[in-house]
Structure 1
Amino acid sequence: MNKKIVLPGGSGFLGQSLALFLLNKGYDVTILTRRHSRVENSIRYVHWDGRTMGDWAKELDGCYAVVNFTGKSVNCIYTEENKKEIIRSRYYSVRILQKAIQSCEQPPQAFVQAGSLAIFGNTRDVCTESSPHGEGFSVKVCQLWEKAFFAASLPHTRQVMLRIGFALGRDGGALEPLKKLAKYNLGGKVGPGNQYISWLHIDDLNSMFLKAIEDKSMGGMYNATGPQPVTNKVFMKTLRKVMNKGWAPPAPTPLVWAGAYVVMGTEPSLALTGRNALPQKLIDEGFTFQYNNLKTALSDLLSG
């Protein structure tokens, strides 16, 4: 019988990508979902609510690792209710998973949490794992999230949190809206254009998750991003080049605010802020990146 990996909240873009990656590596994959239980494409889906104990907890007993993706998407307008749910969905899922692991007769050897680089706030300074945190709502969310994740005692289970950057994947995810802008010749710099994008290729992110699952020396906090962040201006210029698009008009900050709220239904700060983060611990531990050049990464993702 193959080793089983459980992915709570794994129905989204990143979770689905990792699930297929793990299947190809010979693992069995179970996703905990708020939808109905079923089997699709060799992946078992088991219902849970992300907050309370239930039959789903049995899936963790004897599994090899848990990788938690649960949390309301930050790609929304930050109303008070949405902000509360962004915090609650992350906090409660972490705590109930800890409780489930503590109740296991055979607990998983690794508990990996998908976190966020947003903890560094909006900064152009180089950010490694030990850099100071920023300010604002997103920073507060990350701080509460990380504190909750490392609060419980799990003596038989390694805990690893990956602060994920701007993950570039195929047919969805963070890259999709930028592709659409470039397609319609609107792919100029966004706002000031000097905000950093700490990007990484989805294949490298999946390899980071696999390392966190399998490498028994890993523990604690890691920046999960590529080694060569770029500014928004450089990112959009490179994207246009790969898509064979010429010059495109910039999107001034007032237009970004209006477009985000009215057209995209999301928070404009997601496009207007950034951070210059490096995966220092992964570099120090010898992680090998398949893609450390943005043009090469985009060419791979947009080919065919």
Structure 2
Amino acid sequence: MADTSPTRRIVIAGGSGFLGLSLAQHLHENNFEVVILSRNTPRSEGPWTHVAWDGRSLGNWKSCLDGAYGMVNLAGRTVDCIKTPDHQDEILRSRVESTRVLGQALRAIDQPPPVWVQMGTAHIFGDPPEAICTEQSAIGVGLAPDVAMAWEEEFAKARLPSQRGIVLRTSFVVGRDRGAGGGALDRLSLLTRLGLGGRIGTGKQGFSWIHELDLNRLFQRALIQESMHGVYIASAPNPVSQIEFMRALREAMGIRFGLPAFAWMVRLGAPLLLRTDPNLALYGRYVRSDKLREEGFAFQFPDVGPALQDITRSLS
């Protein structure tokens, strides 16, 4: 999917983390100029320009959007935390306010980018038991679906009427650490090395996932393919249960066993030892995109085993 046309500028808002640096590298390799718009300087150096912002207020940073080919918004506080009231408020505000101020910036420049690709989350569907969700499925209830809906509603208001807009409701991303703290796969890999990579709770909860390369290809496709618009689920076409995912991870890492964790153990250990929300492990969802299948998008990693083998092989 390499592009040989002249260099074009893509601005990645909230791009200093694991997903942003992965996407920035991918776009650079496909002949795009990349600007990372973030609060903090990326921890690793790379073929991009960094511009500082606070994610809340309009400033001189808006000039990097003027004349850009496209914009990607990944900004938002991680949900991998204990859900205190303050954290819940920041999870919501960081997403809504960053989206809002990007919309303000677009209205303050001469040549706004013609396409805006917005990060979303597959958690918008809640945690339905063993049902496969598609773009047509009902929205769930709870904190995560409420935050996801507020995020998408703000995007709908912030986007220019003339602008092509795409939301990618993303599932768990399987990828490599690039000096940005890695993804959640780092934590699962550590637990697996410690012999704790077994069933969590019932093990039947949905584990929808996507290889970072396929996610990057989806972002690039959304930027350049004018027929893409609206909401898409960004997840591999073959979701698995939690127990199946961990079995595939153990096989990829060459580890023969993984001790199970009962729900009560996770509820005690997750906040105390891992400083995270136990519900992230105890609940899940099965999602798949009807729209991508209808549009003929071919995943390079449709199955979890080869995807995890590819990632772990690159880390060895």
- Same-fold status (TM-score > 0.5): yes
Which residues in structure 2 correspond to 1:109-148 (within 5 Å)? 109-123=114-128, 124-148=130-154
2:196 paired with 1:196: no
d(CA) in 2 for partners of 1:136, 1:38:
34
> What's 1:60 paired with?
65
- 1:107–1:156 Cα contact (<8 Å) kept: no
2:168 paired with 1:162: yes
> What's 2:236 paired with?
226
d(CA) in 1 for partners of 2:197, 2:166:
36
> What's 1:87 paired with?
92
d(CA) in 2 for partners of 1:186, 1:244:
14
Q: Write out per-residue CA displacement over residues 114-172 of structure 1, whole angstroms, 9 at most, x where no aligned residue.
A: 11000000112110011001111111100111111112451331111100001100232
d(CA) in 1 for partners of 2:286, 2:138:
13
d(CA) in 2 for partners of 1:226, 1:283:
11
- 2:14–2:73 Cα contact (<8 Å) kept: yes
> What's 2:192 paired with?
182
> What's 1:74 paired with?
79
Divergent runs of 4+, >6 A: none
Closer, same or farther: CA 134–184 of 1 in aligned 2, 3 Å: same
d(CA) in 2 for partners of 1:39, 1:79:
30
TM-score for both structures, normalised by structure 1: 0.97
Closer, same or farther: CA 183–84 of 1 in aligned 2, 3 Å: same
Q: CA deviation at 1:174?
A: 2.1
1:113 aligned partner, one-letter code: Q
Q: Write out per-residue CA displacement over residues 210-242 of structure 1, whole angstroms, 9 at most, x where no aligned residue.
A: 001001111110000000000001111111122
Q: Which runs of 5+ in 2 are unaligned?
A: 1-5
d(CA) in 2 for partners of 1:166, 1:34:
24
Q: CA deviation at 1:41?
A: 2.2
> What's 2:34 paired with?
29
Q: Which runs of 5+ in 1 are unaligned?
A: none
2:143 aligned partner, one-letter code: F
Which residues in structure 2 correspond to 1:259-270 (within 5 Å)? 259-270=269-280
d(CA) in 1 for partners of 2:111, 2:7:
16
d(CA) in 1 for partners of 2:163, 2:77:
26
- 2:116–2:159 Cα contact (<8 Å) kept: no
d(CA) in 2 for partners of 1:265, 1:248:
21
Closer, same or farther: CA 37–253 of 1 in aligned 2, 3 Å: closer
| SS of structure 2 residue aligned to 1:151 | helix
Q: CA deviation at 1:37?
A: 9.9
Identical aligned residues as a percent: 43
Q: CA deviation at 1:192?
A: 1.1
TM-score for both structures, normalised by structure 2: 0.93
d(CA) in 2 for partners of 1:13, 1:36:
13
- 1:108–1:156 Cα contact (<8 Å) kept: no
2:108 aligned partner, one-letter code: S
Q: CA deviation at 1:40?
A: 3.8
1:247 aligned partner, one-letter code: F
Aligned residue pairs, count:
304
Q: CA deviation at 1:104?
A: 2.4
2:28 paired with 1:18: no
| SS of structure 2 residue aligned to 1:288 | coil
- 2:16–2:42 Cα contact (<8 Å) kept: no
